Amino acid sequence: MSTRRVGVVTVVRGRHDHLAAQVRGLRRQTRGPDVYVVVAMDDPLVHDVVRAEADPDWDVRLPSVSCPDGLLPLAAARNLGAATATLAGVDDLVFLDVDCVPDPRLVERYAEVLAGAPVAAGPVVLCGGVAYEQPPPSGSGEDRGAPRHHPARPLLPATAVEPCEDVTLFWSLSFAVSVADFCAVGGFDERYVGYGAEDTDFGQRLVRSGGRLSLVGGAEAVHQYHDSADPPVDHLADIVRNANAFAEVWGWWPMETWLERFRALGLAERGPDGRWSVTGP
């Protein structure tokens, strides 16, 4: 059995019920986290939620970051979570979105796959499957039905590990990486503030570092339902700003479908200089 220590990292602002459900999911793990790091983004109530739900024997770390101009510093918060877990002596990192409830074997499965990764083959990042909880039906007490997996990502057998050539399929909802490999990739680029592009940028950093992405069966999670707009007009300014920042670095546009839908709605346009700008409210 591996003696490597595993830290679970999540970043939070609001979503306290979702956070509590995640903590309860971690309490059901076949192999619990050695360190649990919850990074609060301008949300002091997060500490109370974690303390109320966490196993009293856990090593819990509760760092916090401020939100400049009210924008969520997701990249910076994840980097802080990784640094906090590293200082606590972990070898491997499991990142979970606050909305994600892990299946009982998620931590154990990620840990065993990381333990078997070739040391000299470059950084390895693992992504487990995530099924999306369905919205509540009209009326109370009705069954939501089974959570649905994302159609762009295969549902793998519990023992499968498959290389994924398309690093744009990397997502930060649920992933695992060793501390050494996270550092080799360079972590998340903190120029991205607010919603969008920091995941896609991390995938490009992984390629640049000579690393690879693998999809892992048996490390499943359920993403708890919450209302969201399609396209995400509530994140319009963030998406436009972060898309411009990404294109400056990598030379192509992320989130292009959303950008084009914003243009069709009269909310954004691409200027003569090639950059996008917000034109609507």
Name the CATH architecture for the domain at 6-223: Alpha-Beta Complex (3.90)
Predicted confidence band of residue 69 (pLDDT cuts 50, 70, 90)? confident
pLDDT digits (tens, 9 = 90+) for 210-258: 999 999 999 999 999 877 677 889 899 999 999 999 999 999 999 999 9
Indicate yes or no: pTM above 0.75. Answer: yes
The 10 Å Cβ neighbour count of residue 189 is 19
Tell which wins on pLDDT, 5 or 151.
5
CA 122, distance to chain mean position in Å, is 21
Residue ranges, CATH 3.90.550.10, the chain: 6-223
Instruction: Specify the DSSP element, H or E, that contains 247.
Output: helix 236-250
pLDDT tens-place string over residues 7-44: 999 999 999 999 999 999 999 999 999 999 999 999 99
Give whole-number Cα distances, 273 to 248, 277, 280, in Å: 12, 11, 19
pLDDT tens for 160-203 read: 999 999 999 998 999 999 999 999 999 999 999 998 899 999 99
